[in-house]
């Protein structure tokens, strides 16, 4: 996969290089990329997810745009239109599932950390999407809460214990997503 184009931003103190913007994608202040799309003819939006890379969020948007707007949709990756997953229907849940599948296809390969993943020649590791029965508002609330923010503070005398339980929950979620064939 090619490197995404970048844009040079000129500021008072010089210039910085930032990733190019994609339609339907924005970056949270703590670095995650999120995607959503407005439903045609409505004021409501479909939440497509929070991702680690802008290309993942852009692919999620493209799936939703094709489903909701058809062949006239303006896509981030028009060259991939024929190979993107198709939702079973225009229901938000179906669009979200197909969008997540497209995003996973754009995921960069994980970097092996000694002791966490099998060594070369060992069992293969693959990420598998997990379907969880949450409403759209619950998913949006989870994505709005900056669990992955490096600046997240737990203002409690029990902060250390709470942080430990959050870490355990995140790790158990990770372990259910990783399979060893």
* DSSP secondary structure string for all residues of 50-103: EESSHHHHHHHHHHHHHHHHGGG---S-GGGGGGS---SSSSHHHHHHHHHHHH
The SS3 of residue 166 is helix
Backbone angles phi, psi at 137, to 5 degrees: -70, -35
Task: Map tokens 């024929």 to a residue.
Answer: 82
φ, ψ (nearest 5 deg) of residue 100: -65, -35
Single pTM value for the model? 0.55
Please list the pLDDT of the chain residue by residue as tens digits (181 residues): 444 444 333 333 443 445 558 999 999 998 899 999 998 888 899 999 999 999 999 999 999 999 999 989 999 999 999 999 999 999 999 999 999 999 999 987 766 655 555 555 555 555 555 566 777 777 777 777 665 555 555 555 555 656 666 655 666 555 544 444 4
Q: How far is Cα 36 from Cα 92, in angstroms, rounded to an integer?
A: 11
Count of residues in the chain:
181
CA distance 62 to 98: 10
């Amino acid at each position: 996969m090619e490197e995404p184009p970048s844009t040079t931003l000129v500021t008072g103190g010089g210039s910085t290089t930032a990733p190019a913007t994609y339609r339907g994608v924005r970056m949270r202040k703590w670095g995650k990329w999120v995607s959503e799309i407005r439903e045609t003819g409505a004021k409501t939006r479909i939440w497509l997810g929070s991702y680690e890379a802008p290309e993942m969020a852009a692919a999620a948007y493209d799936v939703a745009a094709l489903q909701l707007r058809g062949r006239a949709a303006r896509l981030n990756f028009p060259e991939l239109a024929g190979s993107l997953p198709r939702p079973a229907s225009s229901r938000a849940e179906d669009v979200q599932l197909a969008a997540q599948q497209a995003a996973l296809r754009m995921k960069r390969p994980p970097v092996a950390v000694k002791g966490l993943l099998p060594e070369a020649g060992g069992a293969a590791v693959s990420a598998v999407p997990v379907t969880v029965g949450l409403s759209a508002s619950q998913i949006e609330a989870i994505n709005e809460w900056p669990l992955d923010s490096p600046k997240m503070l737990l203002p409690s005398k029990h902060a250390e214990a709470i942080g430990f339980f959050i870490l355990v929950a995140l790790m158990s979620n990770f372990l259910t997503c990783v399979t060893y064939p």
